[in-house]
Amino acid sequence: MVDASPITAVLGPTNTGKTHRAIERMLSHDSGMIGLPLRLLAREVYDRVSIQVGEARVALVTGEEKRVPRRPDYWVCTVEAMPVDLEVDFLAIDEIQLAAHDQRGHVFTERLLLSRGRRETWFLGADTMRPLVAELVPTASIVQHPRLSRLASAGAGKLSRLPPRSAVVAFSTPQVYEIAERLRAQRGGAAVVLGALSPRTRNAQVALFQSGEVDYLVATDAIGMGLNLDVRHVAFAALRKFDGRAVRDLDPAELAQIAGRAGRHLADGTFGTVAPLSLPDGVAFAIEAHRFPPVRRLLWRSSELDMSSIDALLASLRARPRVRSLRLVDDAEDTAALARLAEDPEVRARARGEEAVGLLWEVCRIPDFRKLLFESHVALLAEIYGQLSGPTAALDAGWMAARVAEIDEVGGDIDTLITRIASIRTWTYISNHARWVRDAAAWQERTRAIEDRLSDALHERLVQRFVERGGGAARRSRAASGARSSPGAPSTQRRAEAEPPAVPEGHPFARIAALRARLAPGPAAPALEDDRARWVEELVGAPHERFSVDVGGRIFDGERLLGQLARGPTLLLPDVRLAALEDLGAGARSRVLRRLVAFARDLVEALLAPLRSPEVRALPGAARGIVYQLEQGLGTAAARDAEEQVAELAPEGRALLAARGIEVGERVLYVQPLLRRGALERRLALCAAWFDRGRVPACPAPGAVSMAVAPGVDPKAYAAIGYPVFGTRALRADVAERVLRALASGEPAERLSGWMGCSAREAPRVAASLLG
């Protein structure tokens, strides 16, 4: 598109009103479109614009949501989802500095080079983009506005002494949880904002903070992109993050983007660190003065794609830019998916001709919201393409319904719900492609309703875990009375802790307690024979999902304790002891016991499903030997114990194992899906039955990469839950291999302490054991 209309680059620090000015400018035109970096921010801007002009005139378009009235005048979109062929009078792109982002940058660069409004175009972003905007868009007029409020450094401060209306920023989910729990204990609670939260959950959490129910917010850098919050102080609890490739230091411009959330509009703000952490020399001054090195190169990918064949498409995606300030994106997720599917003979057979190749490219652009195993994502894409390129040219409704139904479950902990929300986003994205599904509107409504239910459940879990009811008010009341804050409850409590302690036999009140138990109402303690019989029949015929097991191996029906996993012939064949069912007859107890033993077998089968699929069992001999070792270790094995099989493993066998999530490392063999939270808890339950009492590790915190080795705990038990012991730490298997690779490349152990989840002082001992 020719730069015939005026182009303005509005560049500068945070809180200069860039986005607000762009919205007002857009509404002064008859039509307009604004591209935003986040789905959350797009929804926020959509709400703002809709309030001003009405929903009938505004369209919202993101990857997972499309609200398009009959004749919209204004389009609010995520940058990736912008309908670029649509002509509007005014067009704006926000946070244009993301053109330098490793994964998303090429999309922002394409918009910078090619997207224009008929009458006016605006690019909004950091001042670090000034030289490249001047070079690549020489007709652009660059303007800058002063920050509306002052941003000043406050140095380091203890978490317990942070001022109210503070946001504490960390860069890993476990650290966010840990800080939020400390604030609950010390200050009444905190709201939590993570990038993985849905807009509904994020808004509910922000509402806690904005309303003053809590005075603190704990977040990742998800708050750094234009989300408007009543934050007066930003405190960094970490200065390093994992960016998808490696753990690295944040550069000063990135820190400034986040620190700039403090002091919105005309209110001054401060930033600092949580002691003992401190900012490197010169960084605080750079943030205060808004002075940072300019961006040198932008990510790029050709927009002229050749759809004549898969190979031609791949070649056009790999074409190199002719401008030195542009760099070809070399690891884009959609290109990687296309390259992987290109190896599939069936996909190649179907993708013949421009239309079929174009469809394949559309499918490859389905985002991997789950971020679990790339092979799993590619397998899903292959299935989707197979159906869309088939005779019906649409997804099978029954197949899709079964996949969606698996996600529609509001039980589970915070991490489980976040995972389900990520999963439903995939189906929401798919349902918004009307050509792919029959009755697309109904599917969109269904997936949106599921996300809403999951979001509400997630908000409840976050409040239960991180907020002391009364929050800020309760904290202020305690402070006024001089009372010390009592420690918060542990993040994960066993159900039994909420129950009154059992009265020992022979105690003077034992008979009263027994009478009270018999008279207690509820289906979990039937008082009449008919009720007992009905309950037993229901229990014996119940599906696997009715029962649950905790990390101690206790089996529950809802809230009622039924039994306990006990040591059996092997780790994989636990027995069961009944508990608290003395009111049942011998026959009924026997039937319940059989059902619970069957549940225990189902538990093991479900846990080891990744190792027991027909595809895995059909693997060559050496690969099957590795699978056997992994089964015996509940998904983890020491490489030295499988040296013979590993030595015989051909490259093709290794690839087949990797495609199923089975990783053959230098020190550890492990199954990636069995490191997830739900699998970890089931592994602990089986360990509680097999290993002697007191020799089983505690349950790791969600997302924990390591644990300190506790005295008396059997090292085999650590390995059996996926945390083999190296020196003084039990490292999660995948982390151990990642650290080992970094050490082998010459990375100092001290710099990897964050990866290991230990102190820099402890890191060399762990590294020495890992290398030994």
311-322: pLDDT as tens digits: 999 999 999 999
Q: 102 or 74, which is more confident?
A: 74
pLDDT band with cut points at 50, 70 and 90 for residue 356: very high
What phi and psi values does residue 763 have, to the nearest 5 degrees? Answer: -55, -45
How confident is the model at residue 163, as a pLDDT?
A: 94
Lowest mean pLDDT among 70-84, 203-217, 338-352, 742-756: 203-217
Task: In whole angstroms, give the CA distance from residue 168 to residue 188.
Answer: 15
Contact at 8 Å (CB) between 162 and 271? no
Task: In whole angstroms, give the CA distance from residue 685 to residue 699.
Answer: 10
How confident is the model at residue 504, as a pLDDT?
A: 43
Task: In whole angstroms, give the CA distance from residue 661 to residue 733.
Answer: 13
How confident is the model at residue 118, as a pLDDT?
A: 95
Burial, 700: exposed, middle or buried (Cβ in 10 Å; 0-12, 13-18, 19+)? buried
How confident is the model at residue 525, as a pLDDT?
A: 39
Q: How far is CA 733 from CA 85, 197, 490, 725, in A?
A: 48, 27, 26, 10
How confident is the model at residue 512, as a pLDDT?
A: 37
Contact at 8 Å (CB) between 235 and 166? yes
Task: In whole angstroms, give the CA distance from residue 449 to residue 424.
Answer: 10
HSE of 14 in the Cβ direction (CA atoms, 13 Å)?
Answer: 25
Whether 618 has a pLDDT exceeding 60, the answer reads yes
Q: In the numeric block, which tokens belong to residue 414?
A: 């915070």
Q: In the numeric block, which tokens belong to residue 162?
A: 């942070």
pLDDT band with cut points at 50, 70 and 90 for residue 497: very low
How confident is the model at residue 15, as a pLDDT?
A: 81
Antiparallel, parallel or unpaired: β 547-549 and 32-36: unpaired
Instruction: Tell how many helices (H) and how many strands (E) occur in the chain.
Output: 29, 28
- Output the CA torsion 251→252→258→259 (10° steps): 150
HSE of 452 in the Cβ direction (CA atoms, 13 Å)?
Answer: 7
Whether 350 has a pLDDT exceeding 90, the answer reads yes
Q: How many CB atoms lie within 10 A of CB 28?
A: 11
User: What does the mean pLDDT of the chain come to?
Assistant: 85
How confident is the model at residue 452, as a pLDDT?
A: 86
Ranked by mean pLDDT, the top range of 41-55, 70-84, 261-275, 610-624 is 70-84
Secondary structure (DSSP) of 659-698: HTTEEE-SSEEEEGGGGSHHHHHHHHHHHHHHSPTT-SPP
Q: What is the mean pLDDT of residues 83-101?
A: 95
pLDDT band with cut points at 50, 70 and 90 for residue 213: confident
Listed residue (113, 104, 239, 114) closest to 169, CA to CA: 239
* Amino acid making up residue 752: L
Q: How far is CA 317 from CA 11, 84, 85, 337, in A?
A: 30, 19, 20, 12
pLDDT tens by residue, 676-697: 999 999 999 999 999 988 889 9
Q: 592 or 413, which is more confident?
A: 413
Q: What is the mean pLDDT of residues 605-627?
A: 82
Whether 513 has a pLDDT exceeding 70, the answer reads no
Whether 505 has a pLDDT exceeding 50, the answer reads no
pLDDT tens by residue, 641-680: 888 888 888 888 888 888 888 999 999 999 999 999 999 9
550-578 core/surface letters (b: 16 or more CB in 10 A; e: else): bbbbbbbbeebbbbbbeebeebbebbbeb
HSE of 671 in the Cβ direction (CA atoms, 13 Å)?
Answer: 26
Q: What is the mean pLDDT of residues 213-240?
A: 86
Task: In whole angstroms, give the CA distance from residue 597 to residue 301.
Answer: 57
pLDDT tens by residue, 551-580: 999 999 988 899 999 998 889 889 999 987
Q: What is the mean pLDDT of residues 228-248?
A: 86
Ranked by mean pLDDT, the top range of 99-103, 179-183, 465-469 is 179-183
Q: What proportion of the chain, given as a percentage, has pLDDT over 70?
A: 89
How confident is the model at residue 424, as a pLDDT?
A: 94
Task: In whole angstroms, give the CA distance from residue 415 to residue 17.
Answer: 35
SS (H, E, C) 25-91: HHHCCCCEEEEECCHHHHHHHHHHHHHHHCHHHEEEECCCCEECCCCCCEEEEEHHHCCCCCCCCEE
Task: In whole angstroms, give the CA distance from residue 230 to residue 447.
Answer: 32
Q: What is the mean pLDDT of residues 533-539?
A: 73
Contact at 8 Å (CB) between 440 and 161? no
Whether 475 has a pLDDT exceeding 90, the answer reads no
pLDDT band with cut points at 50, 70 and 90 for residue 226: low
DSSP assignment letter at 172? S
Q: What is the mean pLDDT of residues 473-502?
A: 39
Antiparallel, parallel or unpaired: β 141-143 and 7-11: parallel
Q: What is the mean pLDDT of residues 230-237?
A: 93
Global pTM reads 0.59
How confident is the model at residue 692, as a pLDDT?
A: 86
pLDDT tens by residue, 404-457: 999 999 999 999 999 999 999 999 999 988 899 999 989 998 998 899 899 889
